[in-house]
């Protein structure tokens, strides 16, 4: 714990490249308003008369900016920040998602604003899927942004708005809701893209897996395949895939088609949620929900080590979802069990 390295503390910090110094009249402004003032100054310095709005709500952190007809989310942090929180709310649906995400590092004490750069919607989605999350949003390193304010100004001047689609951060499976996956494919080793995007993997059906609790004892001898999807809680956010593997609270959803030995068609499906650590408790409040025609089952964890639902093959599609609180809902694609 003690430090043997003789190193002086840094008393002053180099101004970031391209930093914009604002005048004293901005002293009482919030970080967001300072960032907007910095952007307006950047436009003025370049003599760019690009429309910037919403005119009456530029300082409102809940609102997207509109710059030359592009929806721009402005995320601010301190000038020395090593982590920037991006409000995930606008990214919940394509209707509200921004096209560009601009990072602003603001030194309120010195009225200085630096723009490390911008991410397009697609770039943000790619980074955010594996990024850490908190209650406030997605946590990104400011170094993830590139190009400074120059990149923003180049893109909004050169691109047609439709060249930057509005993309949702909702899990891939959620956007794939409505599609139908044939469970029988799993027996042939084929996995649908929507499940792969969730980090799902087909795993060998071994006796050890049953003993570890992945399959209900009654179904153990009848398991024909097993699809395991990793989930986790990052803050209050339900995440899957790589993001889930980095969580402290992690668990897995196993989908297990069952049937007589060597059957080529499953006759049932076990849906089982358990901790990633065998025997450990699940977080309370996880809700596993499944609907097959008029048959609807819901089960919620409360000092539980596992949640399990069992279904028989039928002509009806099976819809499974996992929910945690208000902030997390993952809907799997509809499953087709041959009737």
Partner 1 sequence: MRDYTELRYLQVSGVIDGLRCRACVEVVGSPLSEPFEPSRRVDLQLIIAATAAPDPLPLLALRCRVSHPLEAWLRVTHSKYRETYGLNLTAMASYALDDTGSLTLRTGPETTVPFVYAEIASMPKGLISPFSAEVIRTYDPQKCGLPHWARLKLQCHNELKAYFREHGLLLISDWALLADSSAKRVRESWEVFGGGGFTVEVAAALHAAYKPLYREAMQSYRQATGKASGWQPDAPFLQALAPEQPEARTMEQLEAIAAAIRRLQSGRWQQSSAIDQELAEQVAAPQPDPDPAFEPAELRALIDQALQRAMDAHMPDVVSVEGRQRDLLRCLWAGWAEGLKQRPLAKRCRSSQGTVSKLLKPDQHATTIATAAAVELKRHPAFASCGQSVEAAERLVDALRNHLLEPEREGEVAPLRRWIQQYLSNP
Residue 16 DSSP code = P
Q: Which is nearer to partner 1, 157 or 190 (CB)?
A: 157
Q: Which is nearer to partner 1, 16 or 257 (CB)?
A: 16
Q: Which is nearer to partner 1, 122 or 207 (CB)?
A: 122
Dihedral sign for Cα 200, 202, 204, 208, please.
positive
* Whole-number Cα distances in Å, 35 to 29, 40, 121, 243: 10, 9, 20, 30
DSSP string, 248-297: SEEEEEEEEEE-STT-SS--EEEEEEEESSTTPPPPTTEEEEEEETTEEE
The neighbouring-strand residues paired with 234 are 237
Q: Which is nearer to partner 1, 112 or 337 (CB)?
A: 112
CB of 15 to partner 1, least distance (A): 5
Q: What whole-number distance in Å separates Cα of residue 72 and Cα of residue 63? A: 9
CB of 101 to partner 1, least distance (A): 13
Query: What is the longest distance spanned by two Cα atoms in the chain?
Result: 79
CB of 167 to partner 1, least distance (A): 13
Q: Which is nearer to partner 1, 6 or 178 (CB)?
A: 6
CB of 222 to partner 1, least distance (A): 47
Q: Which is nearer to partner 1, 27 or 302 (CB)?
A: 27
CB of 164 to partner 1, least distance (A): 7
CB of 35 to partner 1, least distance (A): 13
CB of 240 to partner 1, least distance (A): 23
Q: Which is nearer to partner 1, 12 or 303 (CB)?
A: 12
Q: What whole-number distance in Å separates Cα of residue 101 and Cα of residue 120? A: 6
* Whole-number Cα distances in Å, 321 to 167, 169, 176, 329: 22, 17, 13, 7
CB of 34 to partner 1, least distance (A): 9
Name the residues that contact partner 1, by CB under 8 A.
1-3, 5, 7-15, 17-18, 21, 27-30, 46-47, 77-83, 107-112, 120, 139, 148, 150-151, 153-155, 157-160, 163-164
Q: Which is nearer to partner 1, 87 or 185 (CB)?
A: 87
Q: How close are the terminal C-alpha atoms of the chain, in Å?
A: 64
Q: Exposed, middle or buried by CB within 10 Å (0-12, 13-18, 19+), for 93?
A: middle
Number of residues written out for the chain:
339
Q: What whole-number distance in Å separates Cα of residue 158 and Cα of residue 174? A: 33
């Amino acid at each position: 714990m003690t430090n043997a390295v003789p190193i002086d503390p840094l008393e002053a910090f180099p101004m970031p490249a391209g930093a914009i110094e604002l005048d004293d009249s901005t002293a009482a402004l919030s970080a967001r308003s300072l960032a907007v003032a910095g952007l307006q100054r950047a436009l003025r310095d370049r003599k760019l008369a690009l429309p910037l709005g919403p005119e009456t709500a530029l300082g409102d952190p809940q609102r997207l900016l509109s710059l030359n007809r592009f929806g721009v989310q402005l995320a601010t942090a301190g000038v020395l920040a090593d982590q920037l929180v991006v409000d995930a709310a606008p990214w919940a649906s394509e209707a509200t998602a921004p096209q560009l995400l601009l990072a602003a590092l603001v030194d309120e004490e010195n009225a200085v604003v630096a723009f490390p750069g911008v991410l397009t919607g697609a770039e943000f989605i790619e980074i955010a899927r594996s990024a850490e999350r908190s209650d406030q949003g997605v946590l990104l390193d400011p170094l993830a942004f590139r190009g400074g304010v120059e990149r923003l100004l180049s893109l909004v001047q050169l691109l047609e708005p439709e060249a930057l689609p509005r993309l949702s951060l909702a899990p891939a499976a959620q956007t794939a809701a409505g599609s139908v996956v044939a469970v029988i494919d799993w027996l042939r080793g084929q996995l649908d893209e929507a499940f792969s995007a969730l980090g799902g993997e087909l795993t060998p059906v071994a006796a050890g897996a049953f003993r570890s609790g992945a399959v209900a004892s009654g179904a153990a001898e009848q398991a024909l395949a097993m699809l395991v999807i990793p989930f986790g809680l990052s803050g209050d956010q339900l995440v899957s895939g790589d993001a889930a593997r980095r969580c402290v609270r992690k668990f897995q959803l196993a989908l297990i088609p069952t049937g007589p030995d060597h059957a080529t068609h499953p006759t049932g499906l076990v849906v089982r949620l358990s901790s990633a650590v065998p025997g450990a408790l699940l977080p309370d409040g996880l809700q596993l929900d499944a609907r097959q025609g008029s048959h609807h089952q819901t089960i919620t964890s409360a000092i539980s080590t596992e949640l399990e639902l069992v279904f028989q093959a039928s002509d009806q599609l099976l819809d499974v979802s996992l929910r945690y609180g208000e902030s997390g809902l993952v809907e799997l694609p509809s499953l087709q069990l041959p009737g």
